């Protein structure tokens, strides 16, 4: 069975990779600046958005544009008096220096009062400083490093998708419950060697420690972002013999890791968990008919959870517009545009940017990923959106073709349990401030 899985998974991965390359090629044809929404002369505000639109992460840019189109349609349908937004999107090429110049251009040339988007946390850090210098509100829709809302937070930065702390807090709770059932002890961690990967480990460790989970850390591995070959990392993990491997690899990197791990006996001995990005539709598509045994996943949005009318409508609208199902990037970008419009409306316009900041700090927003009875809200202390999170396993599910597996067997965690404790926030900010004063 496992041999059959490896061969079948490899065939499906090749097919899935082809589909993704076609999606990237379509994006490459439109990689130059894109404008959607109101014309410059008619807009109440201009929003400059930055996403990767070329390379391995291009699908996130394409899906984000589609998600923002849906948001603009929903805003217009809600009220004739709703803010009219001009949204400009351009390709960061996943490079911080390029994104900084782009952000400066959006502000100086286009009069942007908002910046949004960004997939890489490293790129987001750099652009966040541009927003601070120019007193322009930045709304993060995809990147997830908790450092941006804790150590590096400033009054103009907000994030509208789950961050690494929330995802790892949910993951730690899942692992604590799993330990009670199975008695696992040996843990390894593998993540990309940049801010997001390192901060995700700190977030996971903090939550495990707070829950009193006792474990032996048998390995920590740091491949570069967009690493093509994981064979040496897989060999090191197998030698360490962990019972659980937690990874913060994402997108094409996680797909490549799964493909290469599936050609070994890695999954015979180890359970793999990806709590922040592993349940992305991109991954489900790549897995084909079979999932690695015991694969534990979650993500920032799921096509099949929560099973609410709002989420079903969002997924159906996206599929109707694009002819395929969305990655989580689409709902993050949708949320960003919805949040900007709601804040402008509450503030009575953009003339007083501090009034818009205050509106963002008190924002409550019903989003597709909210279960019935819960509404997402911005935490005024961290400017991070607070949401519930579901963690599950990969199971057969053919409702979202061409994917034939989806996350299921959900365990759902309350939003309040996933916030960083106030004392942790104070400690990390104080430590960062102390380190800054020591620099020459």
Please give the CATH superfamily to which domain 2-17+165-305+389-417 belongs. Answer: Response regulator (3.40.50.2300)
Please state which CATH number belongs to domain 18-164+306-386: 3.40.50.2300
CA dihedral 427, 429, 433, 439 (to 10 degrees): 100
Both tokens of residue 62?
């394409």
| pLDDT given for residue 26 in this prediction | 39
pTM, 2 dp? 0.90
Alpha helices in 29-95 (DSSP H): 58-78
At 116 the pLDDT is 98
Within the chain, which residues score under 50 in pLDDT?
1-30, 440
Nearest to 145 by CA among 104, 214, 195: 195
Q: How far is CA 200 from CA 4, 297, 336, 413, in A?
A: 34, 15, 22, 18
Distances (CA, A) of 45 to 10, 71, 83, 105, 432: 47, 15, 8, 16, 34
Q: Domain ranges in the chain?
A: 2-17+165-305+389-417, 18-164+306-386
Measured distance CA(194)–CA(172) in Å, rounded:
22
């Amino acid at each position: 069975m496992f041999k059959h899985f490896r061969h079948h998974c490899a065939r499906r991965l090749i097919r899935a990779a082809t589909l993704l390359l076609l999606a990237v090629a379509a994006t490459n044809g439109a990689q130059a600046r894109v404008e959607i929404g109101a014309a410059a002369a008619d807009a109440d505000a201009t929003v400059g958005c930055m996403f990767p639109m070329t390379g391995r992460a291009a699908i996130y840019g394409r899906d984000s544009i589609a998600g923002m189109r849906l948001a603009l349609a929903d805003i217009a349908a809600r009220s004739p008096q709703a803010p009219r937004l001009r949204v400009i999107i351009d390709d960061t090429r996943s490079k911080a220096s390029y994104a900084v110049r782009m952000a400066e251009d959006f502000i100086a040339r286009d009069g942007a009062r908002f910046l949004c988007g960004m997939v890489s946390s490293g790129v987001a850090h750099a652009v966040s400083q541009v927003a601070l210098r120019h007193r322009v509100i930045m709304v993060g829709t995809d990147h997830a490093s908790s450092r941006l809302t804790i150590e590096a937070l400033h009054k103009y930065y907000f994030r509208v998708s789950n961050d690494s702390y929330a995802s790892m807090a949910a993951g730690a709770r899942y692992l604590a419950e799993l330990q009670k059932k199975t008695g696992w002890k040996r843990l390894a961690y593998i993540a990309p060697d940049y801010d997001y990967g390192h901060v995700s480990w700190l977030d996971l460790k903090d939550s495990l420690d707070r829950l009193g989970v006792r474990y032996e850390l048998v390995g920590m591995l740091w491949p570069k972002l967009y690493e093509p070959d994981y064979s040496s990392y897989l060999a090191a993990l197998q030698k360490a013999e962990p019972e659980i491997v937690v990874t913060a690899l994402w997108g094409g990197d996680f797909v490549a890791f799964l493909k290469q791990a599936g050609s070994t006996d890695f999954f015979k001995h180890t359970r793999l968990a990806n709590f922040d990005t592993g349940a992305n539709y991109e991954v489900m598509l790549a897995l084909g008919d079979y999932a690695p045994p015991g694969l534990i996943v979650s993500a920032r949005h799921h096509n099949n959870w929560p099973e609410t009318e709002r989420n079903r409508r969002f997924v159906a609208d996206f599929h109707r517009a694009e002819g395929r199902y969305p990655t989580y990037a689409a709902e993050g970008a949708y949320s960003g545009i919805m949040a900007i419009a709601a804040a402008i409306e509450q503030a009575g316009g953009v003339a007083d940017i501090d009034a818009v900041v205050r509106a963002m700090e008190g924002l409550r927003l019903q989003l597709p990923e909210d279960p019935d009875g819960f509404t997402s809200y911005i935490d005024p202390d961290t400017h991070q959106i607070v949401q519930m999170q579901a963690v599950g396993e990969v199971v057969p599910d053919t409702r979202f073709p061409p994917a034939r597996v989806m996350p299921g067997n959900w365990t759902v965690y309350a939003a309040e349990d996933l916030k960083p404790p106030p004392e942790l926030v104070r400690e990390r900010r104080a430590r960062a401030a102390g380190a800054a004063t020591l620099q020459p």
